[in-house]
Amino acid sequence: MFNIDFIEIASTFIVLFAIIDATGSVPIFLNLRSQGKSINPAQASIYSFVILIVFLFIGEWILGLFQVDLQSFAVAGGFVLFIISIEMIFGVEVFKNDGPDESSTLVPVVFPLLAGPGSFT
């Protein structure tokens, strides 16, 4: 009935584990905590899962709707990650944050760190 290819599953897991790089995001999590922002791990996991599943099934359609090719999306996502890193390293505010000051679960933790352009492509 179902033909399960464990080698394909393992290789996909390894690639996504390397791209998502949860261990490499630890300094960012610590920086957010030192700024007094809270991160809800369960909520971040659920948001990441939903974003990745939605993009798995309708991601190409969404990009086609806006006439954006996958390579351009990956480059633009890299620029967003670069700007967020500049904000965190130098303490400047490039993007105005009008959200609640105490919560940082969705941005920048879920998107673009956990479910970002690398995991979409």
Is residue 3 classed as helix, strand or coil in its secondary structure? coil
pLDDT tens for residues 42-92? Answer: 888 888 888 888 888 888 898 899 999 988 988 888 888 888 788 878 888
Query: pLDDT higher for 114 or 14?
Result: 14
Closest CA to 97 of 27, 42, 35, 43: 35
Mean pLDDT of the chain, nearest integer: 81
Is residue 119's pLDDT more than 80? Answer: no
Taking the mean position of all CA atoms in its chain, how far away is CA 46? 12
Residue 115, exposed/middle/buried by CB under 10 A (0-12, 13-18, 19+)? Answer: buried
What is the rounded distance in angstroms from the CA atom of residue 39 to the CA atom of residue 32? 8
Question: Which residue(s) pair with 96 in the sheet?
Answer: none
pLDDT of the residue at 102: 58
